[in-house]
Structure 1
Amino acid sequence: MASMALIVVAYSCKDDEVSSDLPVIEEEEQQDVLADYKGPVYADDYSAIASWENRSSWNLANVHDPSVVSDGKYYYMYGTDASYGNALEGHGHFPYKKSKDLVNWDFEGTAMAATPDWVKDTLNNMRTRVGLDPIADPVFGHWAPVVRKVGDKYRMYYSIVVDNFIGNGLPNTEANFDNTWTERAFIGMMETSSPLLNDWEDKGMVVCSVSDRGTDWSRSSTGDWSGYFKYNAIDPSLVVTPEGEHWLVYGSWHSGIAALQLNPETGLPLNEFDVNDESTWGTTIYTRNSSSRWQASEGPEIIYNEETDYYYLFLAYDELSVAYNTRVCRSRNITGPYEGFDGSAVIGKDCFPIITHPYAFNNHSGWVGISHCCVFQNEETGDWYYSSQGRLPANTNSNAYSNAIMMGHVRKIRWTEDGWPVVMPERYTAVPEKEITEDEFVGSWEQITLNYARGTQQSSVALSLSSDHKATGALTGTWSFDAANKVLTIGSLELCVERELDWEASPRELTIVFSGLNSSGVSIWGKKN
């Protein structure tokens, strides 16, 4: 897709979405509060402390595909087993951390000690029914859990991928390839009364990958991506409707994303799941390409925002190591149709807005692989947050393997007047609330337009705001600031403003940032130098 030129247009931020986790400080106290503020000092390149022995120092190191839930006292972040140098290998599955402030995180261990027996048993029962030999020692991957509070319980839906070829049952390597696809994936569920106790009770299978191609599991080559399974049973997300319905949204690549209604009491499918009955697999709610199973979209995250009365479907586009970028679409109904920024249905095509993309501000390597997000709300303040991994580009600090460094990112979300989420360009650090004044905007800025450029980081362009309210450089026109709603207007472009930490500065220091959407549904990010 060609890069899009910036066309400025007004999309103002809702003034009821600008509260903070921290109380507003009285005016005479504000300066002292900011003067005493100390932001995180841990390094983005955590390679020196990546080993298991240093896990007490990780903070947000070794985070991939996070899911965040709160018990009212702590936030808990769960994720995929992936880690730099495979530091987590042999220590259980679905690592998790806890935090009181979304800034400082303690590594707590793993939520699953060992792969449940039902996975291997179910896999081999299914293989036996179609005349295949059982696999004695399947290769399992543990991916992308989602955790939600449901009544007085917490439910985790998790993915377990079987990485063996269907035909010969051997591990997925080039040498073992037998012109068949790899085996199915499973989504299971477990419950606990308290994430603090970490005493999860497994409830078994919810769904598994299913095929509409019978026993024709042939694959012409490892470059064939037409997909034997219709739905790939990974990347679960859960949403509860205002009417109390529970829906599992899941899928990756293949035929797209499906929504399956669950029984609220059990957390399992409302209607019994049957691998031979397509009507029990769920309803397709998004596919990037209706004519192909080469989707390059995955990681659905589904939320309902009662303020806008929309369901929002966040999607990860492209491969995860570099090109990952986040899109969002919305619908009045859980099963769709989902619409993009221009108001048209998105099924079968790319969707906008783009709310994250590989990028780099000055004085830093920047970040790639920023997607497969979770989106969550502080129910007391109403504030919304976006969390995902971010990867360092290859050869950062002369490290050929730096692209495997996965740092957890937490960023604040604001909402435009038209009800679209925008993500802040700097990571959240619980900066105390102090009124932002108009004179603070005067000076030099860096501005980034997150146009889609697959595998390429978008870099910053100089922007200047003058004391006589003129903008020059990356954006032009007259500028003004609405302090009550924390909205900066440049020309007709309206931008949500926050005071955040400048992570690229050395030493790190406080700054002002903005985020908004242009007329094409592409995020516009800015940071005061």
Structure 2
Amino acid sequence: DVLVGPDGRHWMVYGSYWSGLFQVELDPVTGGLKDPKAAHLHVASNTADKGNPLEAPAMFYHEGWYYLGVTYGLAAQGVKSTYRMVVGRSKSPTGPFLGWNGKPMTEGDSTSLLKTSSPMFGPGGGNFFMGKDGEWWMAYHYYDSRRYWNRDSWGAPTMQSRRVMWVDGWPLPGLPAGANLKPGDGKLAGEWTFQVDFGRIETLELKSDGTCHLGRSDGKWEEKGGRLLLHWPNAEAPGGAWTDTLTIDKT
């Protein structure tokens, strides 16, 4: 992948399994290496999985930050694929690219973007772009568990895109383009589908009196600054409650 930065410099990221992902600067006129003798900079590795499986690097720039999107895991196995998308960011085009907790991607750290959630299995190979209307989007492929593929495998390869929101300087994927949404009344009170980190899907009930219910937990909710705050009482939590923060998308 090649990024043309705001200063006109061209950066290429490449690589795959084993040795990791690397970056080099290109000559904007010739398209070749700007300095053939320059060392190729190591920018990311997947230290958690055997064989260092990662590929499909993508660089993009947004409001002072350089981002490196990467796909971890294995593909081309239908619903058995372990692909998942992560991202890191840096104030410099050469990194180090850091995850949300401030550790570098060269040590295997990152921020999760998208991963398996049935019927979407193994999302990866993605990239980011800005539309003519100024909205950001991410495009990627995944394996659809509802469709037969081949060799007795389920999970047909499928392309998909999602609108991207920005929260605290990090890209947050929205719902898939073309999702069949029911028009609402603009009120938050009611029943909502609730899913944390693409895990188990539950029903979240927001009551008009400011209380909320999820599974066996009862708490309180409030809308503040375009976000939904869910407060769950817990004696071991700072301030006596754990708080989930959700970004509200009213489009």
Alpha-carbon distance in 1 for matches of 2:38, 2:218? 54
Question: Could you say which residue in structure 2 is the equivalent of 1:317?
Answer: 72
Query: How do 1:113-512 and structure 2 match up within 5 A?
Result: 237-272=1-36, 279-280=37-38, 282-289=40-47, 294-305=51-62, 307=63, 309-320=64-75, 321=77, 322-349=81-108, 351-360=109-118, 366-378=119-131, 380-393=132-145, 400-403=152-155, 405-416=156-167, 418-424=168-174, 426-429=175-178, 437=186, 439=187, 441-450=188-197, 458-473=199-214, 477-482=219-224, 486-491=226-231, 492-498=243-249
The amino acid of 2:210's aligned partner reads H
Conserved 8 A contact 2:166-2:172: yes
The code of the aligned residue for 1:487 comes to R
Q: Structure 1 or 2: larger strand share? A: 2
In 2 relative to 1, CA 435–269 (structure 1 residues): closer, same or farther, beyond 3 Å?
farther
The structural deviation recorded for 1:429 is 2.8
Deviation at 1:476, TM superposition (A): 5.0
Summarize deviations over 1:262-319 as a string: whole Å, max 9, x none. Answer: 01112221124xxxxxx556211112239x99211111111011x2x11111110111
Amino acid at match of 1:318: G
| Aligned equivalents of 1:430, 1:298: Cα separation in 2 | 28
TM normalised by structure 1 equals 0.40
> CA–CA distance in 2 between the matches of 1:468 and 1:396?
47
Asked if the contact 2:104–2:110 (Cα under 8 Å) also holds between the matched residues in 1, the reply is: no
How far the C-alpha of 1:382 sits from its partner, in A, is: 2.6
Unaligned ranges ≥5, structure 2: 232-242
Rg comparison, structure with higher value = 1
Q: Deviations over 1:397-436 (max 9, x none)?
A: 9x93332x122111011111x2111111x2123999x997
Which whole-Å CA distance do the structure 1 matches of 2:147 and 2:104 have between them?
Answer: 40
Aligned residue number for residue 223 of structure 1: none
For residues 349-401 of structure 1, what are the alpha-carbon distances to aligned partners after superposition, in whole Å with 9 as ceiling and x for unaligned? 2x2321111013xxxxx1101111111112x433111111121238769x933
Q: Runs of at least 4 residues of structure 1 off by over 4 A?
A: 394-397
CA distance in 1, matches of 2:204, 2:113: 21
User: Judging changes above 3 Å, is the alpha-carbon distance between structure 1 residues 415 and 435 closer, same or farther for their aligned structure 2 residues?
Assistant: farther
Q: Deviations over 1:323-355 (max 9, x none)?
A: 111111111111111111111223122x23211
Q: Which one scores higher on RCO, CA 8 angstroms, separation ≥ 6?
A: 1
Answer whether contact 1:255 1:293 (CA < 8 A) is retained. Answer: no
| Cα distance in 2 between the residues matched to 1:443 and 1:242 | 44
Residue type of the partner of 1:470? T
The answer to whether the 8 Å contact 1:384/1:412 transfers is yes
Q: Distance in 2 between matches of 1:261 and 1:293?
A: 30
Secondary structure at the counterpart of residue 347 of structure 1:
helix
The structural deviation recorded for 1:499 is 5.2
Aligned equivalents of 1:288, 1:436: Cα separation in 2: 44
Aligned-pair CA distance for 1:459: 3.2
436 and 353 in structure 1: CA distance in 2 versus 1, 3 angstrom threshold = farther
Contact residue 302 and residue 313 of structure 1 kept, 8 A? yes
Q: Deviations over 1:85-125 (max 9, x none)?
A: xxxxxxxxxxxxxxxxxxxxxxxxxxxxxxxxxxxxxxxxx
Question: In percent, how many aligned pairs have the same letter?
Answer: 23
User: Is residue 116–residue 122 contact of structure 2 (8 Å, CA) maintained in 1?
Assistant: yes
- Match of 1:300, SS? strand
- 2:184 and 2:67 map into 1 onto residues whose CA distance is 31
Bigger proportion of residues as helix: 1
Inter-partner Cα distance in structure 2 for 1:489 and 1:459 = 20
Q: How many residues align?
A: 233
Judging changes above 3 Å, is the alpha-carbon distance between structure 1 residues 429 and 293 closer, same or farther for their aligned structure 2 residues?
Answer: closer
Distance 2:139 2:57 in 1: 13
Instruction: State the match for 1:197 in structure 2.
Output: none
The Cα shift of 1:446 comes to 2.1
**RMSD, aligned α-carbons:** 3.0
- For structure 1, the 5+ residue unaligned runs are 1-236, 273-278, 361-365, 452-457, 501-529
* Cα distance change on mapping 1:436 and 1:336 into 2, 3 Å: farther
Secondary structure of the 1:371 match is strand
One-letter amino acid of the structure 1 residue matched with residue 15 of structure 2: G
